[in-house]
Amino acid sequence: MKLLLTSGGITNESIRDALIDLLGKPISDAHALCIPTAQWGHPMLGPASVRGVIAGEPPFLLTSLGWASVGVLELTALPSIGKERWEPWVREADVLLVDGGDAAYLSHWMRKSGLSELISTLPETVWVGLSAGSMVMTPRIGPDFVSWPAAPDDHTLGVVDFSIYPHLDHELMPDNTMANAEKWAAAIAGPAYAIDDQTAIKVTDGTVEIISEGHWKAFPA
């Protein structure tokens, strides 16, 4: 699977160009599935924000890019309908647009639904994560980013070997400072990146590339 791990979505032309490069085709020729599941695990999100990301209303910069088609894949429903029904939907998609919320909750439902096993068999599919949708691919998110009460710990899927601190210096998130990112990284005790909403991490065949029109910082292990 090809990864475009963002903090705020497709927020500038550099990130958009990286997406087109991963797709290997124009956005208008690509078929997308939107996964809003992480929102249900976060206490500040709910029906209105889920509708916003599906409808592509600002600031949700995923579904409104001019895709050939956009469908919705709700992971909490998948165990009840059977893999034989939903797996073809995923395999036919060019890109999965994975929204933010609580990454621990998203990790739980990726495992429970079976999607976490399937993604390793999709080498050409593009995963576009926004915030928790990106963090879920990392080994750990740090306790401060866990808001789902039933989460056993802060471990996530570990598809990549680094962690992500999102929304760096965001005007609506005064605690997301570089100083706090440095404390978070020290506790993570592994390689990590702090990224703002104008930055993305592109991962193809194990190669990591920073795409940015903003600011970011790498923290070695």
**Is residue 171 within 8 Å of 128, Cβ to Cβ?**
no
Averaged pLDDT, 13-27: 97
Break the chain into its structural domains and give their ranges: 2-219
Q: Which CATH superfamily is domain 2-219 in?
A: Class I glutamine amidotransferase (GATase) domain (3.40.50.880)
Averaged pLDDT, 43-51: 87
Q: Is the pTM of this model over 0.85?
A: yes
pLDDT, tens digit (0-9, with 9 covering 90-100), for 131-178? 999 999 999 999 999 999 999 999 999 999 999 999 998 988 888 899
Confidence of residue 61 (pLDDT cuts 50, 70, 90): confident
Query: Cα–chain-centroid distance for residue 179?
Result: 24
pLDDT the model gives residue 166: 97
